[in-house]
Amino acid sequence: MKSFFTRLNPFDSGETDPLLRAKAELQPFWKKSWFSFLITVLIIGISALVIVYLAFPSKSSSDTVDTVVDAITVLSTKTISVVSYIETKPGLSGSRVSSVATTNGDYFKKCAPAVTCDPNAKYRTYNGSCNNLQNPNWGAAMTPFYRLMDAEFDDGNETLRKQLDGKPLPSARVVGLKLFYLRDIQYLDYEHSEILVPWGQFLTHDVSFYPDDIRGSDTPAHLDHCFDKDKSTLPFECETIITIPSDDPVYSPYNVSLFKFVRSTTSANFSCPLIPRTILNRNTQYIDASHVYGSNLKTADSLRAFENGKLRTWIYENEEYCPKNPDSEFKDGPLGKSNVQFTAGDINVNQNLAIALFQNLFLRFHNVLANELQTINPSWSDERVYQETRRIIGAVMQVITYDHFLPVLLGDEYMKEYKLTGPTVYDPSISSALAQEMTSGAFRAVHNIIPAKFNLIAANYSTVDQVEPSRILLKPDLLVGNFDNMLRGFLETPGRLAQPSYNTLITNVVFKIPNLDGYSGFDLLSYDIQRGRDNGLPPYNKIRQICGLTKAIKFSDLSDLISLEDIETLKTLYSTVHDIDFIVGAILEKPRSGSMVGPTTACVIGDTFYRFKAGDRFFYDIQGQPGSFTLEQIQSLKNISLSNVMCSSSHLDHMQKESFRYVDHKWMSSQKYSCDSYKIDLSQWKE
Ligand code: HEM
Ligand SMILES: [Ca+2]
């Protein structure tokens, strides 16, 4: 079982803040040290074993293990996180999801621009149009997210969903506090490296971007008028503001009573008013490295060097970085001064140090490959080298995602169930567009593995620095001069175990604002819950159903996937079992053995990645298309892993083959291979 490989590290709680430290002090003794924790688990475990033995003497040994863990859940609901990784065998049908939404075609009928396609084009368009020749706008940038189910708004159009009894949904912050806040111990995952986090976010930024509707203002200041009004008469834009309870352990001492949550921009902002409110995805909805190159021609051109197929760079101490953006809006923002704001194909390049690292990594990788292609094909034009490199990088994104990342996130069984393995057969009836349920729900549940701190690790494996999110959000300055240390930090640090909570720093101090004494109005968990409501996601129980799980009639029916303790807390928050927010259920679901997510979450993620594969005419292993690679080229592409990318684009000299697997350099150094063995072979591209 997974928990066998995991460790609890109470010394790494990441709680540097005095308030949070104080809270940690108040924690029960079993959470404070290894020794007392182990003693507690042992006592509880032995008691549970005795009870289970007496109650179920004839069970087989593997049944007993699961039952014991269940028994521990009941006996000691306070040791919660340990019991959350039990094996579950839900009644999943194994079939893929069929969308039951009625609105998926609306935008295409009413607002989509006319497009003329070249069916013989070898390279993807920048905005993703013309991938599907029958429906050329499918999956293009600036088209809506796909819906698995119809959007749910109280008025059918835009006001937030209410509970079945007509009451408003509970405050997202209260939900976070009651269900997740006290579980902020950092469980480590010694099977997987922390590099899952930057990759997961990097992949997200390839396929998704939908900004807040800030209407020309760069802060949510226009919501100030919401603060003094009575809630029942609040204007529309105030409806999503998140209320903070007066006994909030973190924010109330600072008199912070509201988060200024701004709703997403809709198609109406682009002269296409649709009902219900419809959100456009600014990035191409294919895995095509649009975050490296841009989702339109103008951005793509602005990033090119127009020489030897290369991308523009900013050189610092002989190292390549993404070009600096001199006009960045965040230069003198509320987070302090940043001297480095990068520019890349996706606008979120500077959001945090991890994503900035990966944008820079792939910029370097592009230039490494372009250099190689130009060397072996001296007669190729700049355009040819650039487009061929772009085509290879898009393919590498797919290889790493399907061959390396998804098997870790979903596990082998889900990979098979959702048909994510094996050769791809293109099906033009399938839209690749990213589901709203995925981007505002299921994939965000993976925020639970974001660590409290990022380590910077030097070549001799000493830790140079530990940085918490608030130091690095929208301020990637630290990356400059620390590229290798940063990369090594992710590779050489065990991940945060997937668990039913986000780390404390990401829920409480994501953006530190000095005048709030270190606290600001941002809590990623509350935002994720509220974003689902803003975007009209159906509740958890409904998504369970389209995923082939049984519909819960009463709260206790959730016990197939959610612990009894959590069900009791859910009862205190929601009026009925039908009201629970999707992401809340997604985070609470017990992961299936070998997977990091539970069945409903896996179903939405699995469906998305199936459609990204079968609905993409340029998917790297599809044959018979003008953009198809040769079989030999496909073999070369399949040999490229994230380790090859990192070795060729940094000064790291040794690493494991599977970089998403954690390999401790002290104890398993024989599994760290020299970077000489990760050379990239582009000989199949020689003409
Ligand atoms: C350091 C790591 C990360 C940070 C700081 C971070 C932060 C954020 C923030 C601030 C948002 C926007 C919240 C909103 O206003 O609605 C967001 C959105 C999102 N995140 Fe993360 N995230 C991280 C890693 C990840 C990972 C590992 C995944 C998945 C594997 C992920 C998936 C998503 C998705 C799907 C969205 C919505 C997509 C979009 O905004 O276009 N994130 N994240
Ligand atoms: Ca894309």
> What pLDDT score was predicted for residue 262?
85
> What pLDDT score was predicted for residue 335?
53
Pseudo-torsion of CA 75, 79, 84, 87, nearest 10°? Answer: -50
> What pLDDT score was predicted for residue 93?
43
List pLDDT tens digits, range 95-134. 578 899 999 999 999 999 999 999 999 999 999 999 999 9
User: Which residue spans within 39-138 are E strands per DSSP?
Assistant: none
Residue 646 sits at φ, ψ, to 5 deg, of -70, -40
CA distance 454 to 664: 17
Local confidence band at 509 (pLDDT 50, 70, 90 cut-offs): low
pLDDT at position 73 over 90: no
What are residue 168's DSSP bridge partners?
162
> What pLDDT score was predicted for residue 79?
25
Work out the angle between the directed axes of helices 61-75 and 564-573 (0-180°, nearest 10): 40
Return the ligand number nearest the Cα of 126: 2
* Joined tokens for residue 292: 């490296």
**% residues pLDDT > 90 (the chain):** 69
Mean of all residue pLDDT scores within the chain: 84
- DSSP class per residue in 251-306: TGGGT--EE-PPPBP-GGGGT---SS--PEESS-SSSS-HHHH-SSHHHHHHHB--
Local confidence band at 19 (pLDDT 50, 70, 90 cut-offs): very low
Q: Which of 524, 526, 582, 583 to mutate to test the pocket of ligand 1 (most atoms within 8 A of CB)?
A: 524
Query: Which whole number is the average pLDDT over 626-650?
Result: 98
> What pLDDT score was predicted for residue 503?
86
ipTM attached to this prediction:
0.99
* Joined tokens for residue 598: 């539970």
Residue 628 sits at φ, ψ, to 5 deg, of -70, 145
* Joined tokens for residue 479: 């990356």
Lowest mean pLDDT among 12-26, 258-272, 503-517: 12-26
What are residue 144's DSSP bridge partners?
280
Ligand 1 atom closest to Cα of 281?
Answer: 41
Ligand 1 atom closest to Cα of 440?
Answer: 37
Return the ligand number nearest the Cα of 205: 1
Q: Say which amino acid occupies 109.
A: K
pLDDT at position 484 over 80: yes
> What pLDDT score was predicted for residue 27?
35
> Using an 8 Å Cβ cutoff, are 550 and 593 in contact?
no
pLDDT at position 515 over 60: no
CA distance 279 to 475: 28
Q: Where are the domains of the chain?
A: 93-211+264-686
For 93-211+264-686, CATH gives 1.10.640.10
> pTM for the complete prediction?
0.87
Maximum separation of any 2 CA atoms in the chain, in Å: 79
> What pLDDT score was predicted for residue 239?
83
> What pLDDT score was predicted for residue 35?
41
pLDDT at position 653 over 50: yes
> Using an 8 Å Cβ cutoff, are 611 and 603 in contact?
no
Query: Which whole number is the average pLDDT over 159-186?
Result: 90
pLDDT at position 213 over 60: yes
Local confidence band at 330 (pLDDT 50, 70, 90 cut-offs): low
Residue 674 sits at φ, ψ, to 5 deg, of -65, 145
Give the three-state DSSP class for 434: coil
- Ligand 1, atom 34, lies closest to the CA of 444
CA distance 209 to 290: 11
- Ligand 1, atom 17, lies closest to the CA of 444
Give which of 559, 521, 453, 448 is closest to 180, Cα–Cα.
Answer: 448
Query: Which whole number is the average pLDDT over 231-240?
Result: 70
* Residues in Cβ contact with 288 at an 8 Å cutoff, skipping those fewer than 6 apart: 124, 128, 206, 394, 397, 616, 618
How far is the CA of 38 from the CAs of 27, 35, 53, 651, in angstroms? 16, 5, 22, 41
Give the three-state DSSP class for 457: strand
Lowest mean pLDDT among 168-172, 238-242, 290-294, 393-397: 238-242
- Ligand 1, atom 23, lies closest to the CA of 201
Buried b (16+ CB within 10 A) or exposed e, 592-631: bbbbbbbbbbbbbbbbbbbbbbbbbbbbbbbeeeebbbee
Local confidence band at 241 (pLDDT 50, 70, 90 cut-offs): confident
Return the ligand number nearest the Cα of 259: 1
Q: How many other C-beta atoms lie within 10 A of the C-beta of residue 401?
A: 21
CA distance 446 to 454: 17
CA distance 15 to 484: 26
List pLDDT tens digits, range 538-566. 999 999 999 999 999 999 999 999 999 99
* Joined tokens for residue 656: 């494991």
- Ligand 1, atom 31, lies closest to the CA of 201
Residue 447 labeled ligand binder: yes
Ligand 1 atom closest to Cα of 351?
Answer: 5
How far is the CA of 473 from the CAs of 136, 412, 531, in angstroms? 37, 34, 20
396 Cα–ligand 1 center, Å = 22
**Between residues 525 and 518, the one the model is more confident about:** 525
- Ligand 1 pocket, Cβ-based, cut-off 6 angstroms: 197, 200-201, 204, 208-210, 352, 354, 439, 443-444, 446-447, 450, 469, 524, 527, 531
- Ligand 1, atom 35, lies closest to the CA of 439
> Using an 8 Å Cβ cutoff, are 522 and 351 in contact?
no
Work out the angle between the directed axes of helices 61-75 and 34-55 (0-180°, nearest 10): 120
CA distance 334 to 348: 17
Lowest mean pLDDT among 279-293, 321-335, 412-426, 579-593: 321-335
